[in-house]
Structure 1
Amino acid sequence: MSISATPIIPRDGVLTIKDGAGTPLSYAIPYSDGDFSLSGLVEDQTTVQSFRNRGRTYAIRKVEDQDLEFSFTCHAHAILGDGATAGLYDVLGKKGVWAAATSTLPAAAGDAFCVSLTFTAERSNLGATSDASVVLKYCRISGDFQEGVPSTFSISGTAYAYSTDYLTIT
């Protein structure tokens, strides 16, 4: 397996949102600014708690699963879709062609609507064996709209550590 020595830049990346159906609905984020951010990556995705005796640390224990936070910005070329093609709010609000979207979170685990978010970076055309990807499986996503030139959506969310498959990096 070879890796590329070429740095990843915004034009290498693609963000895609999918629902949890067997044949998932898929929405590739159009016109993104290339500012995808993922926070909270640590060894085994666990928070820790330190314990002190009169101000001196004597133990550090793994405590609970650590969720990940993410954000990105994209241009607002459409708010709602046209009935055949989704707009970003269709995806966020389960509207239009996304009205029947299925959560990636199993029904037995709760009633929150979650989606998967995949960041794929082109690497194979730049000397690597394959493209790089980060898949966040149980995401709750929210968006803010800002009017401007261009108008934009600021998207943020949490990838929940529901099960061991919630984060896949290849």
Structure 2
Amino acid sequence: MQFQGSIYRCCLLLFIGINLCIASGLSHSNQTQVKSNKGQGRVVDMSYCVNSHQQPGFNHPWVMNRYKKPIYSLSRFYPYNHRMTTEKGVTYYVKTEKFVQEYPPKSKERVAIENRVDYEYYTMLSRHCMIQLQILRLGYKRETPVCNALKQFDARATGLMVT
């Protein structure tokens, strides 16, 4: 299937953890061969796809640089096996045990990573809470555990008690 327009279009759909990436010359694997004007191909990792209009150094909490793998993950899967916790109590996983040596606690880089983890966790909870509130309004469920977790996270972040 060929797409009209630029060489490739890349869209990131962040809805309940599903990433959708569209590129010209789609294959059915995690990596896609993208043809340039000169006929040379390059491999684009579908899980970390960046829009073509963004600069190579673009660093957003959800969209990592397309040449680097993320340093952390909010869920545990290979190779992210080593459990870490931010100051606000958010659990995240890193690739190696050397993470503590590479990013010592209170260092500028470690604080930046933990801030991204907290932000990503907060936005994920916010989205899931909105979905649960919609389900609650429709009358299908009476409980909103994700919204409760969001309130607890806000309380930890601000230092207030939640009952």
TM-score (norm 1): 0.22
Relative contact order, higher structure (CA 8 A, sep 6+) = 1
- Which structure has the highest helix share of the two? 2
- Which structure has the highest strand share of the two? 1
TM-score (norm 2): 0.23
